[in-house]
Amino acid sequence: MRPLVLLVEDETGIAELLALNLRHEGFDVRHAATAEEAAAAVDQVLPALVLLDWMLPGASGVDLLRRWRAQARTRDLPIIMLTARVEESDRVQGLDLGADDYVAKPFSTRELMARVRSVLRRRAPDQAPQPLQVGGLRLHPASREARVSGALLKLGPTEFRLLQVLMAQPERVFTRSQLIDRVWGDHVAVEDRTVDAQVKRLRDALETGGAQGCVQTVRGVGYRFDTAAAQQLVAAAMAGNAAGDVGGTS
């Protein structure tokens, strides 16, 4: 999937040139000409990065930057400011408010594309969670693999994300609405029965892999990952290995 860049620029010529270069670099581009359009776009889909013009009709880019940095959902959204304001105090203000970079007009499109790549590279480590291990169950976000005592589980993308959310905070009880927010996104229409169906698929996959009981229902509330059940996988694997050793000596 191509990363999405939201381009917030009210000058049509500049917007068309930047969009052309971004698409050439392998990005999908969504254009907004005002702060209101940009806010609505981010409310719908969270982009990989925002190119944000300082001077916009109505609310300014700085107002929008301040608003996004104050909200949990957009607090870490990579943002590069574009502006004709070249005073040092303006650059300091933009960076102090949370912009990841600041590019003054007129600028080289090659330099801007390099800065886009640089910001995304800097942010990449924060967006690549570390492997999770609870008992005999290990999950690798980078490779999208989950294993039970070394054996690969067959999980679809949604079941994988669901397991990742539950394993990241074992024993925490998640309501269905919380799981919808974390697995599907807070702006996707998903019903509670869809959550239940995906949990059943996850349980079936875990049971097939020998990890039954790891996802528990908390009646009237939601679901949790059971640490004790995952720890039993280790004991079972050790017992199996011991039995194999004993059998091998006869």
Supply 146's token pair: 């989950």
Taking only the tens place, the pLDDT of each residue in 106-118 is: 888 888 998 899 8
pLDDT for position 127: 57
Q: Where in the chain is the domain with CATH 1.10.10.10?
A: 132-249
**Band of pLDDT at residue 126, cut at 50, 70 and 90:** low
Q: Where in the chain is the domain with CATH 3.40.50.2300?
A: 4-127
Residue 2 · residue 29 · CB < 8 Å: no
Distance CA 62, CA 176 (A): 36
Distance CA 148, CA 137 (A): 5
Which residues lie across from 175 on neighbouring strands? 222
According to the CATH classification, is domain 132-249 in 1.10.10.10? Answer: yes
Taking only the tens place, the pLDDT of each residue in 143-152 is: 889 999 889 9
Which residues lie across from 223 on neighbouring strands? 174, 217
According to the CATH classification, is domain 4-127 in 3.30.70.20? Answer: no
Taking only the tens place, the pLDDT of each residue in 169-225 is: 999 999 998 898 888 765 556 788 889 999 999 999 999 999 999 999 999 999 999
137-140 vs 145-148, strand pairing mode? antiparallel
Mean pLDDT computed over 18-23: 94
Report whether pLDDT(250) > 50: no
Name the region of 171 (left: φ>0; alpha: ψ -120 to 50; beta: rest).
left
